[in-house]
């Protein structure tokens, strides 16, 4: 998974995409399901229709074999995770069919980078160019990057197999992405105009659609453009609002094209089918730092990579995510709408952040590695070296977050992690599951052979309160995270 401590690239490039079938009934939250806006409902319906239409073309995964028992979490067995689909976030794009529409703005040159990124992660990308876009970029650029057809002329000759080009392109696509989307093309989409190939394909396409506007600030903020964007949202379009910055015209303001990786992540989310849509989850990750003086602190080797993978996977599956991360924890490379990152330093700050975030949450996944102990007193300034004696360090316990919050969690699904050494990590993890009143716990090794700290891979055992044990891995951490969310979505409500 491509993460780093400053939201830059760091790892993960293997995997294959195949959506798991037969995952079972969804876990029900204590409160009624979050209301989904008409635009999101239409987008979700489009994703499901697109996924259904492709089911015959992609290899099927038998998925988890689960049974339901009234009032219990029933997990009979789960196949080895070696064959789970995705080892990094953008690999959910592998094998998927994307039509990228490029319209005539200066930001059109960035669309080449987007086409390359989507193709690099295994997507099949076909590009539509408007006549205005051809003033900035060429068809040769995109055909070279994607090894797929590029088209712009509604009246060009077509093969007998695709004798109606705009219909053939619309039927081929699983998702349509317009980037950059100019004010003129947005107006066409809003009012159903179909006077060129790109707008005709858009009108004929019925699946999930995304538009990333890019234009001058005055055009972007004009009431006509704002109205068009709102109408497109209501019709199911995913609109990526333009960030502020320096524009080609020399002014500073809103109107820039969204970041290329954010567009790619949003495209991947549209293609997952939304198994967690309408649910809010809280994930924690990384180590805390317990200060001894103003310079030194107690901590541990947890990188936070698994927490970042859990947060990213949940967001891609449609959830609204709050990721509470330690001060040096790895975080997802982008933070799009619906993926909130909260930084904390100490165990007490982690407790306060979780308490604030859990109200109404469907699930809490405690992957963070808070320090078990902290200095009894924090020394102001820096403790100086002395030739005569060593400084004395007295320790005290930090709060047990899951135990402390047990009475406040209600029917929120509770998932813990137990990093254990020695011969019986699963046995000790099961005792923690019981002591902390959890629904699930994931046991993994820390230290020695099989140590998962600071590693891109993980091997763990998923334990349920109903007594099930499901081995997962060793696999990339994102792959394991995806599997865990599928298992949670396949359970029953907390009894």
| Residues 25, 491: Cα–Cα separation, whole Å | 7
Question: Is 271:233 a contact under the CB 8 Å cutoff?
Answer: no
Q: Does domain 3-17+25-36+274-380+393-489 have CATH number 3.40.50.10300?
A: yes
What pLDDT, on a 0 to 100 scale, did the predictor assign at position 196? Answer: 95
What pLDDT, on a 0 to 100 scale, did the predictor assign at position 424? Answer: 81
What pLDDT, on a 0 to 100 scale, did the predictor assign at position 87? Answer: 83
CATH code that applies to domain 97-270: 3.40.50.1950
Tens digits of per-residue pLDDT, 210-258?
Answer: 999 999 999 999 999 999 999 999 999 999 999 888 888 888 889 899 9
What pLDDT, on a 0 to 100 scale, did the predictor assign at position 59? Answer: 37
113 alpha carbon, distance to own chain's centre: 21
- Residue 442 designated active-site: no
Which residues, other chains included, contact 156 with Cβ-Cβ below 8 Å and sequence gap of 6+?
Answer: 165
Conformational region of residue 234, where left means phi above 0, alpha means psi within -120 to 50, and beta covers everything else: alpha
CA angle 158, 159, 165 (to 5 degrees): 45
The CB-side HSE value for 11 (13 A sphere, CA atoms) comes to 18
Q: Which of the residues in the chain have pLDDT under 70?
A: 1-85, 157-163, 447-451, 492-495
Q: Tell me if the pTM is above 0.85.
A: no
What pLDDT, on a 0 to 100 scale, did the predictor assign at position 352? Answer: 97
| Residues 460, 471: Cα–Cα separation, whole Å | 6
What pLDDT, on a 0 to 100 scale, did the predictor assign at position 72? Answer: 31
Q: Which of 135, 249, 347, 442 is catalytic?
A: 249
CA distances to 31, 93, 214, 244 from 171, in Å: 39, 18, 27, 36
Paired sense of beta strands 97-102 and 175-181, if any: parallel
What pLDDT, on a 0 to 100 scale, did the predictor assign at position 243? Answer: 87
What pLDDT, on a 0 to 100 scale, did the predictor assign at position 154? Answer: 87
For the chain, the structural domain boundaries read 3-17+25-36+274-380+393-489, 97-270
| Residues 217, 252: Cα–Cα separation, whole Å | 8
Do 3-17+25-36+274-380+393-489 and 97-270 come out as alike in CATH topology? yes
């Amino acid at each position: 998974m491509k993460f780093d401590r400053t939201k830059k690239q760091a790892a993960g490039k293997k995997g294959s995409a195949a959506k798991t079938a037969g995952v079972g009934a969804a876990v029900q939250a204590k409160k009624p399901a979050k209301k989904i806006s008409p635009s999101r409902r239409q987008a979700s319906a489009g994703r499901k229709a697109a996924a259904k239409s492709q089911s015959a073309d992609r290899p099927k995964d038998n998925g988890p074999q689960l049974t339901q028992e009234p009032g219990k979490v029933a997990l009979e067995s789960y196949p080895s995770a070696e064959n789970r689909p995705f080892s990094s976030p953008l690999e959910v794009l592998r094998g998927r069919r994307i039509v990228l529409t490029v319209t005539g703005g200066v930001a059109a040159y960035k669309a080449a980078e987007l086409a390359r990124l989507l193709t690099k992660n295994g997507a099949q990308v076909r590009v539509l160019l408007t006549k205005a876009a051809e003033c900035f970029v060429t068809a040769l650029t995109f055909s070279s990057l994607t090894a797929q057809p590029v088209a712009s002329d509604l009246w060009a000759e077509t093969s007998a197999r695709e004798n109606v080009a705009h219909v053939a392109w619309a039927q081929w696509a699983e998702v349509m992405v317009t980037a950059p989307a100019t004010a003129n093309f947005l107006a066409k989409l809003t009012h159903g105009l179909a006077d060129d190939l790109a707008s005709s394909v858009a009108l004929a396409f019925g699946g999930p659609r995304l538009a990333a506007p890019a234009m001058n600030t005055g055009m972007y903020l004009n009431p006509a453009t704002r109205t068009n964007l709102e109408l497109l949202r209501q019709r199911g379009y995913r609109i990526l609002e333009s960030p502020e910055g320096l524009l080609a015209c020399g002014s500073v303001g809103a109107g820039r094209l969204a970041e290329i990786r954010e567009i790619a992540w949003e495209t991947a989310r549209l293609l997952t089918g939304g198994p967690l849509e309408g649910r809010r989850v809280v994930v924690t990750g990384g180590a805390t730092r317990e200060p001894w003086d103003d310079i030194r602190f107690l901590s541990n080797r947890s990188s936070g990579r698994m927490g970042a993978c859990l947060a990213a996977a949940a967001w891609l599956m449609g959830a609204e995510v709050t990721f509470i991360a330690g001060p040096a924890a790895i975080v997802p490379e982008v933070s799009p709408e619906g993926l909130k990152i909260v930084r904390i330093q100490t165990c007490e700050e982690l407790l306060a952040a979780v308490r604030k975030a859990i109200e109404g949450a469907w699930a809490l996944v405690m992957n963070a590695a808070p320090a078990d102990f902290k200095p009894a007193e924090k020394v102001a300034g820096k403790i100086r070296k002395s030739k005569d004696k060593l400084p004395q360090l007295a320790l005290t316990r930090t709060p047990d977050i899951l135990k402390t919050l047990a009475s406040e969690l209600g029917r929120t699904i509770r998932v813990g992690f137990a990093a254990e050494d020695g011969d019986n990590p699963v046995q000790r993890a099961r005792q923690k599951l019981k002591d902390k009143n959890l629904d699930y716990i994931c046991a993994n090794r820390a230290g020695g052979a099989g140590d998962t700290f600071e590693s891109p891979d993980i091997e763990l055992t998923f334990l349920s309160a109903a007594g099930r044990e499901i081995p997962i891995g060793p696999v990339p951490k994102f792959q394991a995270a995806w599997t865990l969310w599928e298992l949670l979505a396949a359970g029953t409500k907390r009894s």
